[in-house]
Copies of this chain bind each other. A is one copy, B any other.
Amino acid sequence: MPRPTRQSPERGNARIRLLEAARDLVRAQGFAATTVDDLCRAAGVTKGAFFHHFESKDALGVAAAEFWAETTTRFFEAAPYHDSPDALQRVLDYVAFRKAIIVGEPAEFTCLAGTLAQEVHASAPAIRDACGRSLFGHTATLEADIDTARRERGITGDWTAASLARHTQAVLQGGFVLAKAGNDSGLARESLDHLDRYIRHLFHIAQDAPT
């Protein structure tokens, strides 16, 4: 999942400001390295305000993953990749859109839910599960277009729409890891080129397919 780095208009809301601070700090430095003091400082709120809204740092972690799911859902619903009348084109436009928004620093374009899950998978199951709902809730939004494209084009390969939708997310998440390890956002875009080529092969529209 991507982006949303813009700050909410309702800057008066301490809870939202803390969730935005968590989104940005955790993507930059991870969850364990981000203290409650860091979050309060970034959000411009007191520690009292923090514990008024969240009973613990872990509760803030769960809420941050849920806030990520809500904001990215709105972001993707408004994105232009839904516009084509052709279902396969919408799937390819999704991949192109994901590639187009990989710009700037990793802390800006990478996924809060993936980063959080990577870190807390064994130590904070409630946060991990909130991350899972965000990631897999997003992949589920791709399934209808993939299924329609399969039907429209008579594709009968031994793979499902749900599985290909999850694979798009795996390629994105892995591309983010490579971009971070190599300090080069081009590494994430490169893997989306492979994903685009894979989908074209699955639907038999690849240019280097046998003739």
Contacts and interface: CB of A to CB of B under 8 A. Distances in A.
Most buried by B among A120, A163, A174, A197: A174
A119 B121 contact: no
Query: Contact residue range for chain A?
Result: 35 or more
Interface string A93-111: 0000000000001110000
A64 to B, nearest CB: 14
Most buried by B among A107, A173, A197, A208: A173
Contacts of A156: 208
Contacts of A117: 177, 180-181
A121 B106 contact: yes
B194 A167 contact: yes
Q: For the complex formed by this chain, how many copies does it contain in all?
A: 2
Interface in A154-192: 155-159, 163-164, 166-167, 169-178, 180-183, 187-188, 190-191
Contacts of A33: 32, 119, 123
Given A167-B190, A194-B167, A201-B201, A28 B181 contact: no
Contacts of A136: 181-182
Interface of A: 28-33, 105-107, 113-115, 117-123, 125, 128-129, 131-132, 135-136, 155-159, 163-164, 166-167, 169-178, 180-183, 187-188, 190-191, 193-194, 197-198, 201-202, 204, 206-210
Q: Which 3 A-B pairs have the closest CB atoms?
A: A174-B174, A170-B174, A121-B180
